[in-house]
């Protein structure tokens, strides 16, 4: 895998979950992640991607690989739609890039968290660590509903991951309530 090591420590009995894909600071994340997911045997994957990427000739690629177009220009009922998608499938890994962009953000979008809470599914912490050249799935979090506690666990996990473009990554991922 081009010098990368794939880490996959997720319990094989987890066949439906919400996955975080972070840090996300480069288009290279997709290029490396797609074959890694194949090597891990993840065939039941869907992922969120901005709708602007769905243009010819790339529409077929994103649809074929599980892309779900997201219109970021307006509020929509995305969490409800994703909850319905998860409930309709017996096996599905639903990947969220919670930063919502490759640029630096003040905090992550939290739809992944509320989708996991609403569907009572675990959150798998997917990552790419460019410093160590390791990517894959790490810890599994079963959200408790205590937003601050759960997000602090997630934040701590990602604090140790080296993004492709460090200037585009904010390690403080949420505002304490």
Query: Quick one: average pLDDT of 6-32?
Result: 90
Task: Give the range among 23-32, 125-134, 141-150 with minimum mean pLDDT.
Answer: 23-32
Contact 118, 79 (CB under 8 A): yes
Structure token pair of residue 110: 């939290």
Q: What's the pLDDT band for 145 if we cut at 50, 70, 90?
A: very high
- What digits encode the pLDDT tens for the residues 53-100? 888 888 889 898 889 898 877 777 888 888 899 999 999 999 999 987
Query: Quick one: average pLDDT of 128-150?
Result: 96
The mean predicted confidence, pLDDT, of the chain is 90
Fold assignment, 5-168: Rossmann fold (3.40.50)
Query: Quick one: average pLDDT of 168-174?
Result: 91
Is residue 1 pLDDT above 70, yes or no? no
Interhelix angle 111-119/78-88, rounded to 10 degrees, is 40
Contact 126, 19 (CB under 8 A): yes
pTM of the model: 0.90
């Amino acid at each position: 895998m081009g010098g990368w090591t794939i880490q996959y420590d997720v319990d094989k009995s987890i066949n439906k979950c919400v996955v975080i894909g972070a840090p996300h600071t480069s288009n290279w994340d997709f290029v490396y992640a797609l074959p890694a997911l194949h090597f891990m045997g993840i065939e039941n994957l869907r992922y969120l991607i901005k709708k602007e990427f769905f243009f010819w000739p790339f529409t077929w690629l994103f649809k074929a690989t599980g892309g779900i177009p997201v219109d970021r220009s307006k509020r929509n009922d995305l969490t409800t739609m994703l909850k319905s998608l998860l409930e309709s499938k017996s096996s599905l890994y639903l990947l969220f890039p919670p930063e919502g962009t490759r640029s630096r953000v003040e905090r992550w979008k939290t739809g992944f968290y509320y989708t996991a809470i609403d569907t009572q599914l675990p959150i798998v912490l997917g990552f790419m660590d460019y410093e160590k050249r390791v990517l894959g799935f790490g810890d599994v979090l079963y959200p408790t509903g205590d937003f601050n506690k759960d997000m602090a666990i997630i934040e701590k996990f990602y604090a140790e991951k080296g993004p492709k473009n460090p200037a585009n990554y904010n390690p403080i991922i949420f505002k304490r309530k």
